[in-house]
Each structure stands twice: as C-alpha cells, then as structure tokens.
Structure 1
Amino acid sequence: MKKRSRACEACQALKVKCEPSPEEPSVCERCSRYSLTCVPAARKWQRDRIAELEEQVRNLQDKLDGATNSTLGLSTYAASTRATSVFSDGAWPQTSAGPSELGFLDSRLDYDTQLRCLEICSTRAGQFWYLIPPVNTASARSWLDSLRTGAPVKLISMLAFTISPSSAEIDPQAQEDLRIKTFEILGQAAVGLKRPSLDLIQAALITGLWIRPSLDCNHGNPNQLVSLAHDLSVELGLGGPEMQTSAPAWFFRIQGPLTLEMQKIWLAGWMTSTMKAVGLRRAHDFDWGTAHYEALGALEADGSEPLFLEMLYTIRLHAKVASSLELCNTRTFLDVNSDVVATTRNQVYNDLNELSNRPLAGDVQLRFWRMLVAIHVNEPVLHTITNKTLFTSPYISERIGVHDFARGPITPTTATALHSIVEACHLAISIVLEMDASTILSLPSLCFGPAVSYALSILIKVCVAVSAPGNTYGRILTRESLHVREAMQKLISVKEELLKLDPHMGNWNTRIIGSVEWLGVWLDDYESIIERYEENLQREVAEQEIEGLSPNGHF
C-alpha cells in the first residue's frame, strides 16, 4: 500500500499514521472507516500562518464585540457558534460572556446603579477572599469598566449574590434575574459549552461563597459550584503540570508561567474547597502541590493582600487538623488518647500561638476561625467508631446522636480535651457576639453560618456525653457547668440583630444562625427527660423516652 505524502487533518490532529484506503486511494483508511471528510493537512508553515491570522481575527472580533456591545446585542447562539479555528467546528466560544450577558445586566441595572452596587459590594464583602476588588469612589468607575470588559460574569455574580437588594437599593426581582442568569452561564460551563476562564472560575467561587436564598425557593447548591470552580481551575491549568487537564481542555490550557492574579485565584479556590470539605466531612486532598507553594511564595513576596494571606495561613491550619486527625474519613477512628491525636494537638496549639502573635491577629474574623481550629483539634474526644457521620453539616437535631456518644475511660488527656473543647466553643460564640450584624451578613454563607452552628452543636453533643444514661464523661463535667443555655441565648441575640438588617431572611447566615432556636426546643425536651431520670435512675425508662423523640434514634 502506497504511503501518503501528507497526512489528513484528522490524522494530523491525532498524531496517527495516515494510510490510503484500499477502496479509494484519495481518502485515508481512517476517514473512510468513520465516514469523515478527508482533507489534507496544511503544511507546517501554512499552519503557523493560519494560526497567526486566526489570532488577528480574534483580536478584531473582540474589539468589534466591545464596540457593538450596546447596539448589536450579539446572541448567545451566535457567540457560541463562531468558528475558533479552520480545524474546528467552533464548539468552544472565545469568551466566557459576550455582549448578550452585558446587555442582560444593563437591562436590569443601569451603569450608575452598577457603580453604586460595586462600591457597596467592595465595602461589605471584600474581606479575605481576594475575589472582591478593593473599590472606593475614586477607583469605582475604572474598576467597573475593567470588570465589564474582562470579567463580566464575575461582575454579574458580585451584584447578584454579595449584596442585599435593600442595602443596594435595587429591585429584588432584578437581582433575582441576575442570579438565574449566573446559574445559566455556570451551568453551560459545567457541561463544557463554555471554555474555562478566570472569569468563570471567580464567578463560580463568588456564587458558591455568598449564595443567597432564591425568591422562588429554587436555591442553587453552593457545594456543586465550589467543585465546579476547582474543576475549571484544573482544566485551565492553574494547578500546574501536577494536575493535568482533561482531553477536551488540553489545547486551551494556559501555557507558560502563571500570573499573580491566576495564583491568587488558585489559592482562593483551594481555601473555598477546603472549608467546604471540612464542613461536609467529605473526602478531600488537603496536601499542597508545587503550584500551591509557588502561589504562596508569590503572594508573600507581593504583600498586597495581607488579610487574604492571614486567612490562608489559618485555613491551612484547618486543613492540617482535618488531614492529621482524618476528620473527613468517616471510616477511620482515632482515640483521643492516641499518640497521633496528642502530637497533632501539641503542634496545632503551637501554630495557633504563632498566628496569634502576627500583626493582624486581633481581627475579629481571624480570631473566630482560629478558635474553630481549637474546636476541631479536640473533637476526637467526642468520637466513636460509628458516630463521625454525625459531625457533618447541617448541624440539626437529628445529628446530635443520643445513642452513639463517646463514653470512653477517664484519663487526664480526656479531661483536658473535654474542658478545652467546651472553652473553645464558648469563646467562638462570644467572638460572634462581638461582630456587627452588617459584618456577619457580609461573610460567606458557605462556611460562616454553618461554623457558628457547629460550635453550638458541639456544646450540645458534650451535654449528651456528660448526662445521657450510661455516660462516663459526667465525672469530668456536669450538665450545669456547660452553660449551653447561655451560649444559645447569645446566638439568639445575634439573630435578633441580624433580623433588623435582614428582616426577610434573605441571607443564609441569618437563617442558619436563627435556626439555633430549633435546637433550644429539642434541649427542653431532652433535659426534662434527663431530670426525671436523675430523680428515679430508671435508665430503661429514660432511654425509651429519648428514643421517642426521634424514630431513627437521633434528635
């Protein structure tokens, strides 16, 4: 069989041998077998010239899109079917959002309203996560123009999720429309209809972190959005060569060294994924790769994001605890008296002391997240072989576990851990009490509200461990010494302050912190049973009454 002088386009793209078909020599065997159009590939110098011309066409098209943004209103379909290469069918759009997205935004919020909302968003939500730019009156216009040009989906997500309609003085339905539009765009990215981009990654992170209840109760899933952001980051190449992209994204990944902005986005995505995993207790790779360390080094050398850097140090400590104690592995049990737990506890407390001596350590939010580390590192004192699934969010009464609580032998280590976890829970709740209601409403609802609820749920788990029939921890602490009611009352007062600014509970932090009253109702029923048990010591009767509080044996 005679060898062809030049491979066809399909074989050239796959780097496979191109042999002529026995039936039709003008068509290669592979194209004949799969009924493909067999076109000879361009020579190398021709391909280089074609690539150069395509780049010029893309630049001209981008300029044309910007110039006709408000007049032409190019449809999503037109943008998504524009050919990106003479060798492709145009399946990958060039930008994450085209004029139709900006046109949609402009039809809901005019330019001046966008300007005002951007300033409010930066003031209230721009804390540790880098994703929200620091905007003031002088720089707002340039920032808005930059976002409209380079990150329109990120802009839409910021205006849709990080501020309340009352604080921004905008129509709630208009903001709801922006949320739905954001979900539509990210949904297209999730199934591969939009090419991974920094814009889409940041939009997914912002939406996942600051997600809000929907007006029609059809809420998005923040955990899926955070996972999407991570997947898009890997596909784009932010994870470096250690985290390879998939085949469809291979030819569109970033080549060469990452910029500082890309590295910050990579670290912000890791922080968000880590907080999500710790809250849900799902399997997660907490270890760092080369791209993480390089990004951290660049961030430290740059020095322009001190709060973001401090938050990163703190979340790394969360990851260290979760990894060392295997908090996210529900099939593994580590005894509180084991060497692993003792070593981890000593190391983490030393790290906490170092963080507490850093310049920004007094920030109220950093203090809260550090205190949460102290709770996590002492959590094994409440673990059993089978109850680790009860430490996941949401922290509702069904997951307190009155029949599966720790009742191990009393040792000095057990006593220390039990006292420490109770103290850390109270301190964390007291720190929340120090925060302004506006600050709490500006914090990411993905992790802050659940973390507050977690602190109270741990106190209630300790209450069960020291008072339920068959307990052993009652020799260390008593139910009265836990002061669970005082902690609960503090959070109820926080909820009342939140309702003054968020009367319609349009923020998940308001709803989650407000739900502590449900635990109060449960606590009333539980304590009435325990008080009767303490009077007559009829264990079997008490256990039957406790069983009656829930059909599955949990509150």
Structure 2
Amino acid sequence: MTSHVTLSRACKACNQLKVRCYSSSTDRDTCERCQHAGRECVPAGNRRRPRDRIAQLEAQVAGLAKALQRQRVSPQYPNATADDKSIYPNGKKAISPTEDDYAIQSTTGSKAVVFLDSHVSMAIQQQALDTYIQHLFPILPAFPLLDSNLETLHREAPVLLFSVITFAASYLLSTKARNQLIQEAMRIFALKLISKPSRRLELVWALLIAAFWFRAQPGISHVTVHQLVQLATGMAIDIGIGGTQIPITPGAGDSETCHPNSLGAQRASLACFLGASTISIGIRRHDANAQWTIHHDNCLANLSLVPSTEQTDRLFLHIVRGEKLCHQIATSLALCDPTYLWDFTSDEAQRIISKRRKDIDDWTAEICSDIDHKPLLFTRYSAIIYLNEPVLHTSTNKLTFGSPLRPEKMAESDFPSPIVTGKHVAALYALRDSCHAMLDLATESATTTFLATCPLPYVAKVFYALFILAKLYVSVTASGNTYGTILRPAELHLEQYFERINTLTASIEDLNPGSFNARIFTCHFALCDWFKGYVPNISRSRKDGLASAGNLDRLVGIDNVNMGARTSACGQSGPENEVLEWLALDNYHTWMNEIIPDDLSFA
C-alpha cells in the first residue's frame, strides 16, 4: 500500500476544496491531486492561528459582570447634565444596560432593578415610595404594596416598584429620567406579556398603576390607558382571579395561579373592574370585562367583613360601590349602546331612574356616616349626571358624549327638542346643578393639589361635567330648541367656569408638569374657542335666553302652569314669562327633592 504523507502546508487547490493535501509518491513537493490533474501545485498562503474562542467568551462574560457591578455601586443618571447634578451631587456618568446585559440576567424583575438603579438614585426612589404611600395611595387605595421597605420591594416586587416610581410619583424625577423610565416600562410590559409571557399578580398591579397614573413621552407613540386596563384585566383572568364563571386560560409562558378567595386576589379583581368600568363609560364602548358579576359581589362582601380600622380600606370599598352605581346606570340606560335611544319619559325609564336615584342617596348616606367622603363626591356628581344625561340624547348624537371630548362633538345642530314635560324639567335642573357642584368642588383652592396628583378617573369626571354643561348650553340656545323655556343661558355660568378651569389647569401644570391630568384639562382651551365662536351665532331675537313664542306653545305637562299668562310673550322677558318660569320652577323643586337631597354640596 502506498504511504501518503500530508504536506505541512496545503496547496491552494486543496485549500479551496477543504480537503487534505497529500504529497505525490514521485515528487514530495507536489500534491497527489495536482499531479493527477496536471496542474502546478502552488502552496497556499500562511494561515492565522485560530483564536481561543472559549477564552474570548470568558473574557466577555467577565467584562459584563464588572459592568453590572459598577451599575449597582454607582446608581447615577447616564449622560448626567448640569441639572441632574442637583439631584446627584457626584454627577458621575453611569453605564446603561445593553442588550447583552439583559441577556445574562435571569428575570425581568432584575432588569427593572438594574435600569431603575442606573437612572434614579436610591434617595429619590425612597422619596417616590414615601410619596406614594403617604399621599397617592390614600387617594385611591386600590393598589397596596407588600412592604414599605425599598430593599424588600427591589427584591420581591421590582416591576411594581418600577411602575410606582415611573407613573404615580414620577413628578419627582427630571424630565429626562422620567421619559427614559416610561420607555423602559413599556418595554418591560411588552416583554412580560408578549415576548416572554409571565403572568403575576404583581404585574396586574403594575399595569393598573400605569393606567390610573398614566404618562407618556411627548411626541412618541404609546399604548393607551384603555389598552393597559385591558392587559391587566386579561392577566387577572389568566391567573385565576376572575371568578369561577371565567375559566383560567394561562396560555404559553410562565404564570402563577392565585387563589381566587385570597384577600389580594379579591382586591385585584375589584380594582380591575374599577378600571374597566371607568374606561368603558368614559369612551362609551361596551367592554365584556367591565361587567359586575356575582364574583364581584362576593369579593366586596368578603372584604367588608375583614376587621380594619384603616380609613383607606373602607374608602376603597366605597369607591368600588360608587363605580358599581355608575356601571348600573350606564347599563340600565344603555349609555354605551349608540344604536339604542332611550325613551326618557317612558314609565320604564322613570322607574329605573327613580330606583337608581334612591341607590345614589343610600350610598351617599352611607359614606357620610363612615369616612371623610369629599373625594367620593366626584363619583356622586358623575352618577347623577349619567342618570340624567339621556335628556340630551338624540338618535344620532349619543356617540358625541364619549371621550375624547372635543369641540367637534358639540353637535350644534343635533340636539333634542321634545314637547317639554315635568320629567324634562327635573332632568335639566339636575344636570345643571350636578355639573355646577362638580366644577365648584374641582376649582376650590384646597382641591388643586388633589387634582394635580390624583388618578385620571377623577380628572376625567371633572372635564366630563364641563363638557355636559356646554352641551346643555347648546340645548337651551340653539335655534329651534324647546329646553330654553326651562333654563336661561345665564343660569349655566359656562363662561365663568371656563375661566376657573383655566386657572386650575395652570396650577396643575406647575405642580405636576407634563402629567396627563394637565393634558386632559388643557382640552378646555379648544372648548373655550368653540364657545367664543358659537355665542355670536345665537339668535339675536332671544336676548335673555328664553324660547320664542312658537316654542312656548310646546311647553306642556307642568302642573298649574297658567298658559294664558304667555299671551303677550314674544321671546322676551316680562311679567308673563316670569309667571311661567316661577311656576315651572316650583314644579322643578318637587322633582328635585327626590333627585338631589340637601347634602349635595356638603363639605
């Protein structure tokens, strides 16, 4: 057998073919393959020695470990500016986590801690945590923290802590740090929900906090409050706290299963309803998750039986009961169904309105005797407005009552003009007085700080009251109206409330710059511009806001009205019109004794 000797260096031809290069038996300087092919055997160029890949990877891992260690030791702002040095005295530049940093960490929680520590000092983190516990949680005591110790939260609830600092207490941060944290929070939520699904009760709380104290980076696309609430509610169902009537559907990924009867799970279930119902009514969109079920009744009953001297615990239950009332009103009157026009004057409608009115009064009496109820007045006034809002509905304008509340939804040519009855009188005055009560409460100097830092539902309810008052203004002034026989435009004080909300908006922007609270209130500027353009278009013949004689002919159903007293009425004020108005007003008070008790404006 011929002995083959491998050349010390392969020729170019064998090197290209990636085969061994054997010397020829007759010429050791020529390879056997080249000799057989009859071509010149040319040695290939010098080869580089192979790198030690294992040693290289070990060096990379060691470098990354050192980078992470530096981040934990020096939690400073990356690219600190002069302004940042006022918060971080040493002004050192921290290293932001990279994609490789994330790759070697085991959980999203550790990622959140690393990112938080690299952008916010421990002192500011502690200040934000204290602010949430002492000032923000008492406003909406739905989202408790498992511990008030910062180190414990870093270890056991890092994503929840991240959400609290990023959204609820982020006005303590610099604008740069706040925007960076918002972007990272959305990234964490996406990772936990989509890329590497992980469902935990902690994440349900984190999503709800992000929704109720929502913030967004200016000029950057972001998820909506509605989407965050939907994600939280869906995750709550997936981990088994949606009640026995809703099956657990964890899907792919890592999920914990919560016992549905634990206090934490029951509280989370009610908080999810609170968010879903508030959003559903606000945008007037039916939501299957915004349904009050037997499971919610059981949760409410069980939490009510837990002995507690904490006012915040009782306040949370009262808030849930108030939102339940709003949900029942919206469902009974089909507020979220744009295709259905409720016959406001029908016996069935009046029966429902009477029952819900009693429910509101019973709930009000309960909160008055139990706790400091002033924050709950926002819910009370909203419930009364929801209850009487259908008096302004037509078959084509129902969609205009949902957010976003823009001037384009004023529908100046789309308003009801029915034959006015005592039922309309009661509803119109209830709307006026409830809107006034809501706006008076909101523009009190003592309420400004509350509205600057409160969850979004409170602010949304205030702006909704202003919008309804503007709708009411159109209904009593537009050409062809019939409601002008009951209310004068001057009685609505719309222009004065625009001025008061303008002052409130400026104060909120100073106290909590860039917040969604301020952004919601800034929408009143567009509404104010609409009002300035609308007023000149009001008919000049209706100087004092009363309806024309033709419209007065349609006023029926008010007891004891002396219809002969209007024989000389031609759309102007006078003794005859005053008799008509005062008699209608007497009838109104009879109805209002049932709708709004004397404690409407209690402090």
Unaligned runs of 5+ in 2: 1-68, 74-96, 546-603
CA RMSD of aligned residues (A): 2.7
Look up the SS of the partner of 2:341 in the other structure. coil
1:162 aligns with 2:162: no
1:528 aligns with 2:536: yes
Q: 2:341 aligns with which of 329, 333, 340?
A: 333
**Offset of 1:379 from its aligned partner?**
0.5
Match of 1:509 in 2: 517
Question: Per the alignment, do residues 215 and 387 of structure 1 end up closer, same or farther by CA in structure 2, a change over 3 Å counting?
Answer: closer
Question: Per the alignment, do residues 75 and 236 of structure 1 end up closer, same or farther by CA in structure 2, a change over 3 Å counting?
Answer: farther
Question: Per the alignment, do residues 408 and 108 of structure 1 end up closer, same or farther by CA in structure 2, a change over 3 Å counting?
Answer: same
Q: 2:316 aligns with which of 290, 308, 312?
A: 308
Contact conserved, 2:239 with 2:250, CA < 8 A, in 1?
Answer: no
Give the TM-score taking structure 2 as reference length. Answer: 0.69
Query: Equivalents in 2 of 1:319, 1:69: separation in Å?
Result: 48
Structure 1: which amino acid aligns with 2:466?
A: L
Moved more, 121-130 or 101-110: 121-130
Query: Equivalents in 1 of 2:152, 2:295: separation in Å?
Result: 27
**Offset of 1:110 from its aligned partner?**
2.8
Structure 1: which amino acid aligns with 2:239?
A: L
Contact conserved, 2:71 with 2:117, CA < 8 A, in 1?
Answer: no
Match of 1:224 in 2: 227
- Residue identity over aligned pairs, in percent, reads 27
Match of 1:375 in 2: 385
Question: Per the alignment, do residues 533 and 389 of structure 1 end up closer, same or farther by CA in structure 2, a change over 3 Å counting?
Answer: farther
Query: Equivalents in 2 of 1:247, 1:118: separation in Å?
Result: 31
Match of 1:178 in 2: 181
Structure 1: which amino acid aligns with 2:164?
A: M
What is the CA deviation profile of residues 284-323 of structure 1, one whole-angstrom value per residue up to 9, with x for unaligned ones? 2454334322221221112451111111111111111011
* 1:117-196 equivalences in 2 (<5 Å): 117-133=128-144, 140=148, 142=149, 144-165=150-171, 168=172, 170-191=173-194, 193-196=196-199
Query: Equivalents in 2 of 1:281, 1:375: separation in Å?
Result: 15
**Offset of 1:192 from its aligned partner?**
5.6
Match of 1:426 in 2: 436
Match of 1:12 in 2: none
Structure 1: which amino acid aligns with 2:493?
A: H
Structure 2: which amino acid aligns with 1:473?
A: Y
Match of 2:296 in 1: 292
* 1:478-493 equivalences in 2 (<5 Å): 478-493=488-503
Unaligned runs of 5+ in 1: 1-66, 81-94, 538-555
Look up the SS of the partner of 2:199 in the other structure. coil
Moved more, 186-195 or 520-529: 186-195
Match of 1:518 in 2: 526
Q: 1:366 aligns with which of 371, 376, 381?
A: 376
Query: Equivalents in 2 of 1:523, 1:382: separation in Å?
Result: 18
* 1:378-417 equivalences in 2 (<5 Å): 378-417=388-427
1:115 aligns with 2:149: no
What is the CA deviation profile of residues 7-66 of structure 1, one whole-angstrom value per residue up to 9, with x for unaligned ones? xxxxxxxxxxxxxxxxxxxxxxxxxxxxxxxxxxxxxxxxxxxxxxxxxxxxxxxxxxxx
Contact conserved, 1:153 with 1:200, CA < 8 A, in 2?
Answer: yes
Question: Per the alignment, do residues 406 and 362 of structure 1 end up closer, same or farther by CA in structure 2, a change over 3 Å counting?
Answer: farther
Match of 1:454 in 2: 464
Question: Per the alignment, do residues 131 and 310 of structure 1 end up closer, same or farther by CA in structure 2, a change over 3 Å counting?
Answer: closer
Query: Equivalents in 1 of 2:201, 2:137: separation in Å?
Result: 18
1:198 aligns with 2:201: yes
Give the TM-score taking structure 1 as reference length. Answer: 0.74
Match of 1:438 in 2: 449
Structure 2: which amino acid aligns with 1:312?
A: V
**Offset of 1:173 from its aligned partner?**
1.4
* 1:47-66 equivalences in 2 (<5 Å): none
Structure 1: which amino acid aligns with 2:525?
A: E
Look up the SS of the partner of 2:465 in the other structure. helix
Greater C-alpha Rg: 2
Structure 2: which amino acid aligns with 1:412?
A: G
